[in-house]
Each structure stands twice: as structure tokens, then as C-alpha cells.
Structure 1
């Protein structure tokens, strides 16, 4: 039986090996673990495409859907142009619920300067709550597309903003009643507002211009999962320094209360960027008002290691996100 969450990397590798292949010369990138976008060459103009559903959240799903998709484009250095929206609506839902989700999508689409260009909406008993999936189309210059697979030994690994921002916001909204008496109403309220801080579009475009060798937005599996995927795609390794990974106080308190590892918690709102001069990129991002820091380095061997005080701990491939552990324990009563 399959686990809730993403397929394991072994399972996904099996699917990709069997069912993907090279047919068209216009397709510049091929599907692989850790690579979230496809780049297509239409005669000098590059179209970058990505798609993602929202399945782990129940509130603000329109907001999340836009930024999750556009963050993937940002990790390729692409600017969003259009969004295709698919809504699967459970029986019994009202038209007002669809309008609320679409209102969120339109608001965030305007913020990232992208048009809603089509999609599909239907009511189906295949779902028990509304599911949103967005396919985002972007544009990039031919010499500017950045892949997850471009990291090189000696590169600095720069991380923007804070780990587990998205997971913190989702958990605060899902489990607010449980968390408030334990960590305080004000802490929960601040965490809930983090849902508005999950875009990495700005830093993606800045880093692409700066000369990033690779980028990967941090989603399911958290910071450590994203590091492993980036290194796997680039056929290299990394040393990550745990003490350098920034966490908000709200994240520390919520994860401690729920018994979760914040470094394995879904983290949209933060980007991993590799480049030759990490300090220079940090300065560039700082000038744009984006917090960032160097959390480690790319190594020649293929081992991903976490330096935790005096200990070196191997970073394993990502499994089911910590968010699903919390949902199962607190919402399903297991």
C-alpha cells in the first residue's frame, strides 16, 4: 500500500524510467527527481511549464496554489505569464466556495502579474474536499533558464527566508484550537499570517540574473528533502550546517508542541540557490529586502551530510512530509 504524500524516489524513478522518453527536439529538459519544471524552445523564446496540486491544506488553497506553481517557475528563473486552473469540487459544496477559491487565485495572480488563461472545473465524488491544481506557464531568456541539476562542487548553498514557513502556517490554521492553549493565541495568530509569505518569485529572478548554478524551491520534505533532491539531480553531495538554517520562533514552538522535525516540514516561501559566490548573492538579495544566508556547500562526493554540533548525520531521501504525520495524528485520531 502506498504512503500518503509524494511517491518515494525509488517509486518515482521506476515510473519515469518506464513512461518518459525523448521525442521532440523542442523539449530542452527531461523529467527527473528534483526537477520541477519543463523548458520548451519555440525558436528563441523559451516557455517554462510546471504543474502542482494543493492536497495538504484546507484553507487558503487558492493562495497556496498560485504561489506553489509560480515558485517552481521562479526556481528556473522564469517569469509567470499564465495560469491554467483545475478545480475538483466535492458534492454538497456551494457556488460561493468556488467563488472564494477563485477570488484568492485572482488576487494572487494579479500580485505575480499572471493571467488566468483557462482550466477545468467539475463537481465529483472522487474528492471529499476541494482540490486545486494549477499549471503555470512562464517565459525565460535562452541563457537564463536554471535547472535543479546544475550545482557544482565548491558552490555555496544559499537559503532564503525561513524554513517551514508554509508548514507553520498550514498547521496553525488546521490546529489552531489545539495549539492556542499550549503556545499562546498571539503565536498562533502570527503563524497563521505566514500564509502571505510563501512566494519566492522575486529571489528566483534575482538569483537567475546573478548567475545561480541551480535552484530548488523547498516544498514537501522540507529543507533536508530539498537538499537531497538538488544533490541527486546534480550528481553531487553537500554539507549542511544545522545551526545556519533559520527558523522562526513560531515554527520552533509549533513543531516542538506537535513533535515534528521543522527541517522535514513543507517549506514553500524559501528557496535553495547554489552559486560560486554565496556572499555576493546574499548581499544582492539583502539589497532587495530578501533575507538569506549560506547554509552549506556542494561537495564532489555524493554524500549529503548534516553537521549537527560535533556530529555528522547522513541526510536521507525525503519521505512523507511531517505535515501528513500531524494530519494523521491530530485530525484522523491515530
Structure 2
């Protein structure tokens, strides 16, 4: 099976085994949380690690952004990266493309690559990158900070990353015209959520970067970590024309495919207008897509129907 660990296995075998306690750890491993936060003087050091292997054509681009997005979604400014690169064979051309993408994206974000490791692993059938991003913050913004009554905002749209992957890894299978594919591939240039996270971190009670499983998986993690029910209105979720077209031809749900490029944020009802104005000033489109409710059964209701565990729809296309 491809995908994240079952929450029960995660709790039993990972989150219960976190080594020696440390009073300087403000946020350690927890379900749904994007990053750790460690007190460092009068500030916080925020760190997040993410592996990627499936998006072949822009693996380096995505690896940098996914790690930096997690740090940004927790209220920090991404500043440093370490990366581990595993290659299935001695292939300098693949290494050249991959590291060129990593370098270019890090420069675009103003982030320094400070270390890592590279090696050949013949047991792999595709390259794998594991990236760790670090940055400094004045305050940690959790995934699990949503309060009942908060409004849930989504920036840009659902399935931004997944759309770009469909346009590249599955280009021929989509049967889409060249113009649609070119526009959809251009979504790779919008994967960063650093600008919108910076605009919202003073207002949001919680932020989360929806990646694997898309918007719905991200919302489930946010709701569960917060102990609330989030009611999501599908019609309120922005879905771009290119996303709708490619998802329709490949029979996948835009709300259930890789969602990097969008940011989920919960804000108090009275702060919605200010939050949307701040995003507009940052040049980022956003929509209110739902509301948090008090509940004894945390999770997500989509148009009144409970959403269970979410497996990314793209996995079936790779298998």
C-alpha cells in the first residue's frame, strides 16, 4: 500500500516513541502537525521533513516547496534546507536535473541548502528525495488550533499540485490539448504557500498545508487535531478550469489529489474580512470554504456527509 500510515499505527509505533523528553520542545511529533518547534533563545526553531518519490518530472521542485510550506504553515520563515537524495542507479543526468531543480527553487525562495547526503540505492525503481526545512518564528501556528466557530479559508484552489502532476507524469493518458497541458504544468510555479502563510500567521488560529490526499485529507487532519468538526461546502471550494478538465478525464476527485500550492487556514469569524484583505494585498486569491463546529466526533462533513480516511486518488494511477 502506498500512502501515509494508519493513524492507529502512527500513534502506537511512532508518536509513542519520541526519545528523551526535552523541556525546550514546544511542539513535538503529533497527528496532523506539520513541523516541530524548539525554543531557541527568545525565538522558535521550526523544522519539518518530507520525502518525495512519485512525481518524476519535477521532483526537486516539489521537494523544496513541500518542506518549506510545512515550516511556513507553522508561522516561520523558511531559511535552511538539508536534503537526502537516493538514486536507483549511476545516472549523472538524473542527478543533474534533480539537483538543478532543488538549487533553482531554493534560490527562488531565498533558502540556503546547508547539508545532506546522496547515494545510489539499486533496490529503488525511481529517485527519492527527503528534504528537511528549518526556519525561525516568533510564535508557532498549529494544525490543531481550530476553535468552534472559526471560518476555514483555502488559498488558490484545490488540487494545484495534483493538476501539475497529471499534466506531466500522465500527459498522454489525459488526452488533453496542448494549451490545457501547458497551463496545468505551469501550476508547478505556484506550489509555494510561503507568501500566504506569512500574511495570515498573525490572524489564523491554525494553518495546514494539504499535500497527500488533497484538500479533504488536510481538512480531516486539521479537524481531528483540533477536536472539531469542519463542515465543508464543495461548491465553495475553488477548482480551476484546468484542474476540473484533467480530473474529469482521469476520473479523480479534485478534492482528493495532491494539494500543495493551497493553504488551509482557520480564522475567527470576525477576522475573515481582514484575513481575506491581507491575502489580497499579498496577491493571493482565497475563498471561505467551511466552518468549524463543536462536536464529540471530530472530522469533516462534506455537504453533510462524513468523510472517512482519505487516500490520494493519484495513487491508483501510479500502481
Whether the TM-score (by the shorter chain) exceeds 0.5 is yes
Q: Which residue of 1 aligns with 2:100?
A: 103
Mark the CA change 1:121 to 1:235 in structure 2 (over 3 Å): closer, same or farther. Answer: same
Q: Which residue of 2 aligns with 1:151?
A: 146
Q: Does 1:262 align with 2:254?
A: yes
1:325 & 1:9 partners in 2: Cα distance? 21
Q: Which runs of 4+ in 1 moved over 2 A?
A: 302-308
Q: Secondary structure at the match of 2:134?
A: strand
User: How many Å apart are 1:321 and its aligned residue?
Assistant: 1.0
User: How many Å apart are 1:315 and its aligned residue?
Assistant: 1.6
Correspondence 1:125-204 to 2 at 5 A: 125-141=122-138, 144-180=139-175, 183-204=176-197
Q: Does 1:278 align with 2:276?
A: no
Among 78, 85, 92, which residue is 1:87 paired with? Answer: 85
1:196 & 1:111 partners in 2: Cα distance? 10
> How many pairs align?
316
2:258 & 2:222 partners in 1: Cα distance? 16
User: How many Å apart are 1:307 and its aligned residue?
Assistant: 4.5
User: How many Å apart are 1:214 and its aligned residue?
Assistant: 0.4
Mark the CA change 1:27 to 1:4 in structure 2 (over 3 Å): closer, same or farther. Answer: same
Mapped contact 1:279–1:294 kept (Cα < 8 A): no
User: How many Å apart are 1:306 and its aligned residue?
Assistant: 3.5
Among 22, 34, 45, which residue is 1:24 paired with? Answer: 22
Scaled by the length of structure 1, what TM-score is found? 0.91
* 1:247-306 Cα deviation digits (max 9, x unpaired): 011111111111111111110000000111222211210121100011011111134343
Q: Which residue of 2 aligns with 1:325?
A: 316
User: How many Å apart are 1:36 and its aligned residue?
Assistant: 1.5
1:67 & 1:76 partners in 2: Cα distance? 14
Q: Secondary structure at the match of 1:36?
A: coil
Among 287, 294, 309, which residue is 2:288 paired with? Answer: 294
Q: Does 1:77 align with 2:71?
A: no
Q: Which residue of 2 aligns with 1:5?
A: 3
User: How many Å apart are 1:45 and its aligned residue?
Assistant: 2.4
Q: Which residue of 1 aligns with 2:229?
A: 237
Q: Which residue of 2 aligns with 1:116?
A: 113
1:175 & 1:67 partners in 2: Cα distance? 21
* 1:24-61 Cα deviation digits (max 9, x unpaired): 11111121111010000022121000000112211111
Mapped contact 1:303–1:314 kept (Cα < 8 A): no
Mark the CA change 1:152 to 1:187 in structure 2 (over 3 Å): closer, same or farther. Answer: same
Q: Secondary structure at the match of 1:151?
A: coil
User: How many Å apart are 1:99 and its aligned residue?
Assistant: 2.0
Among 30, 37, 40, which residue is 2:38 paired with? Answer: 40
Scaled by the length of structure 2, what TM-score is found? 0.95
